Amino acid sequence: MSAPLLEARDLVKKFPGVIALKGVNFALAAGEVHALCGENGAGKSTLIKLLGGIYPHGSYEGELRVDGKVAAFHGIRDAEHAGIAVITQEFALVDELSVAENIFLGRAPRRGLRVDWLEMQTRAAALLKDFGLDLPPETPVRQLGIGQKQLVEIVRAMDKKSRVLVLDEPTAALTEQEVEVLLGHLRRLRSQGTTCIYISHKLDEVFAIADRITVLRDGASIVTLTTKEATIPIVIRHMVGREITDLFPKKVGWSALTPTRLDAATAEQRVGVNALHPQPILSVRGLNVAPAKGKPAFLRDLSFDLRPGEVLGFGGLMGAGRTELLMHLFGAWGHRLGGEVTLRGLPYARPTPGESIRRGLVLASEDRRRYGLILGQEIGFNLSLSSLRAFTRVGGRLDLPAEEVENQKFFSSLRVKAPGQHTRAGTLSGGNQQKVVLGKALMTGPTVVMLDEPTRGIDVGAKLEVYELINALTAEGKAVILVSSELPELMGMSDRVIMLHEGAVGGEFARAEFAQEKLLAAAMGHAHAA
């Protein structure tokens, strides 16, 4: 049997205070799609950075072999020469350049000394068309949504004709159609001989595409299974080291008897919510919002109510206006053309983030690196950033010990995996960063919590913790607005779902009416077709 295309032997990678990898072994056979699964902080991102040459040879222990020979990558270029292309969760695109320029970044077709723009445009247009992307190649990348950016990155990597394509959460921001397109292309590439390492938290996707799965847990490789012999529950059991019986532990209703903060387990007795609280906590009537003054309305005629103890889900395709709606209610986006918003019985005409937080309306953004965290600062700094008012004493002085105690409380109860609250936020894995973002929002003591894609890019175990957090919030009588691209999650956790279609309500559904096809039809503007 020939040597594996890529092989990791006993990889160990240490950081100050943390051992990220403590013995990873896996072998990549030529022509297979090999999935890596594991919880946040299991070591997936570290492993990829090692494969991609970002952590150079010598900074880790153990061996990396390509075609049976020990590989010593000293940088990304070495890895690319060996035919390994890594596409990470963070975009490596230049916002100010066009799609075509980004695809051919650093390897533009030339005519003499000049860039052959025509050739570049033509080839880019062909590639995009081939990929099924309806996107003019001259579009500036800055204008693209998060999902489209990801697709452009994948197009670029595919065009580099790499032997090993490493995809880190490629579908985290894609709609279901886009995912299907991507998987289709991966299958085509596999049949043409490309090998692929595929990292995703979406296990159904993993089973749809992968030949084999290696599970990582706490920095070690646990097991490698073929998808034929494995099932989703088996993989999950290996990932978390315990059985998870209920993927969406939704608890309906609200009880005044259980005012515990973050502990859902004690919230057993529930009462029907709407009977107790006929008054909405947030009420929106005829809301019309433009991206900026003088522009036409993007959010159109939105009306809905949100009651205490309720989870209201917002779904829709990419660009339907879900994020914009949350950002506008919070006071961070758009110019209101008309409509009324009432928050806890008071009109709320001119929202700003500061005023929203004071009134008990918080937002945890989908783009946590951009909007959520000060990555260069400590976890504690981030946790309390929106709540400093509570620690300010006479003369404007901060009560630092009181702040540290509160930070520690959230740090522990959210189970952030880090040496301590003084660890820098930028060093955390995606799921742990998400926990810090949530902690920051919750520390303000909100009554309405808006969660934009709270489980994007995080693993099953951490997802479960987010769901339990939602349960704990509603158990306290708080209201939650949940935006998610994953229909099962939306249906699993919401009491009611509104599907947005091009900035307007495409359909509204009570829990009893939930059905994937109906919701999807509403998102596509065919509310009555299904």
Partner 1 sequence: MKNRAALLKTLSMPLALAGICAFFAVKEPAFLGPRNLSQLMVEFSITGTLALGMFMILLTGQIDLSVGSGVGLIGGTAAVLVTKQGWGAPAALAAGLGVALALWALMGTLIVKQRIPSFIITLGGLLVFKGVFWKVIENSTIPVMGVDENLYSRITTYYLPANAGFVLAGVVVALLVLLEWLDRSARAARGLPVPSAARAFGLLALVAAGIFVGVDRFNRFHGLPVTFLILSATAAAVYILTRHTPFGRYLYAIGGNEEAAVLSGINVDRVLIGAYVLMGATVAVTGFMQTAYQGSSSTTVGDLMELDAIAACVIGGTALKGGRGTVWGVLFGALIMASLLNGMTLMAVQPEMKFIARGTVLALAVWLDVRLGRT
Interface residues with partner 1 (CB under 8 A) are 16, 330, 332, 352-354, 356-358, 363, 365, 370-377, 381, 385-386, 388-389, 392, 396-402, 404-405, 440, 444
Of the two residues 81 and 358, which places its CB atom closer to partner 1 in the complex?
Answer: 358
Q: Residue 401 CB, nearest distance to partner 1 (Å)?
A: 5
Q: Residue 518 CB, nearest distance to partner 1 (Å)?
A: 34
**338 within 8 A of 345, measured Cβ to Cβ:** no
Of the two residues 441 and 472, which places its CB atom closer to partner 1 in the complex?
Answer: 441
Give the span between the Cα atoms of 469 and 270, in whole angstroms. Answer: 16
Query: CA geometry: angle at 190 spanning 187 and 193, to 5°?
Result: 160
State phi, psi for 50 to the nearest 5 degrees: -70, -45
387 Cβ contact list (under 8 Å, min separation 6): 406, 440, 443, 444, 445
DSSP secondary structure string, 301-359?
Answer: EEEEEE-TT-EEEEEESTTSSHHHHHHHHHTSS-EEEEEEEEETTEE--S--HHHHHHH
**203 within 8 A of 235, measured Cβ to Cβ:** yes
Of the two residues 92 and 385, which places its CB atom closer to partner 1 in the complex?
Answer: 385
Of the two residues 397 and 528, which places its CB atom closer to partner 1 in the complex?
Answer: 397
Q: Residue 118 CB, nearest distance to partner 1 (Å)?
A: 36
Axis-axis angle for helices 232-240, 460-475 (nearest 10): 80
Of the two residues 442 and 519, which places its CB atom closer to partner 1 in the complex?
Answer: 442
Of the two residues 265 and 400, which places its CB atom closer to partner 1 in the complex?
Answer: 400
Across the chain, which distance is largest between two alpha carbons, in Å? 77
Give the span between the Cα atoms of 414 and 416, in whole angstroms. Answer: 6
Q: Residue 494 CB, nearest distance to partner 1 (Å)?
A: 24
Distance of CA 212 to the CA centre of its chain: 24
Give the span between the Cα atoms of 439 and 419, in whole angstroms. Answer: 17
Of the two residues 70 and 398, which places its CB atom closer to partner 1 in the complex?
Answer: 398
Residue with tokens 């949100």: 306
Of the two residues 117 and 371, which places its CB atom closer to partner 1 in the complex?
Answer: 371
Q: Residue 446 CB, nearest distance to partner 1 (Å)?
A: 11
Sheet holding 18-28, edge to edge: 18-28, 6-15, 61-66, 69-70
Amino acid (one-letter) located at 15: F
Q: Residue 228 CB, nearest distance to partner 1 (Å)?
A: 45
Of the two residues 195 and 421, which places its CB atom closer to partner 1 in the complex?
Answer: 421
Of the two residues 90 and 134, which places its CB atom closer to partner 1 in the complex?
Answer: 90
Of the two residues 149 and 496, which places its CB atom closer to partner 1 in the complex?
Answer: 149
**88 within 8 A of 82, measured Cβ to Cβ:** no
By three-state DSSP, how is residue 254 classified? strand
**88 within 8 A of 44, measured Cβ to Cβ:** no
DSSP 8-state secondary structure symbol assigned to residue 371 = I
Axis-axis angle for helices 117-131, 146-159 (nearest 10): 110
Q: Residue 387 CB, nearest distance to partner 1 (Å)?
A: 9
Enumerate the β-bridge partners of residue 221.
216
Q: Residue 372 CB, nearest distance to partner 1 (Å)?
A: 6
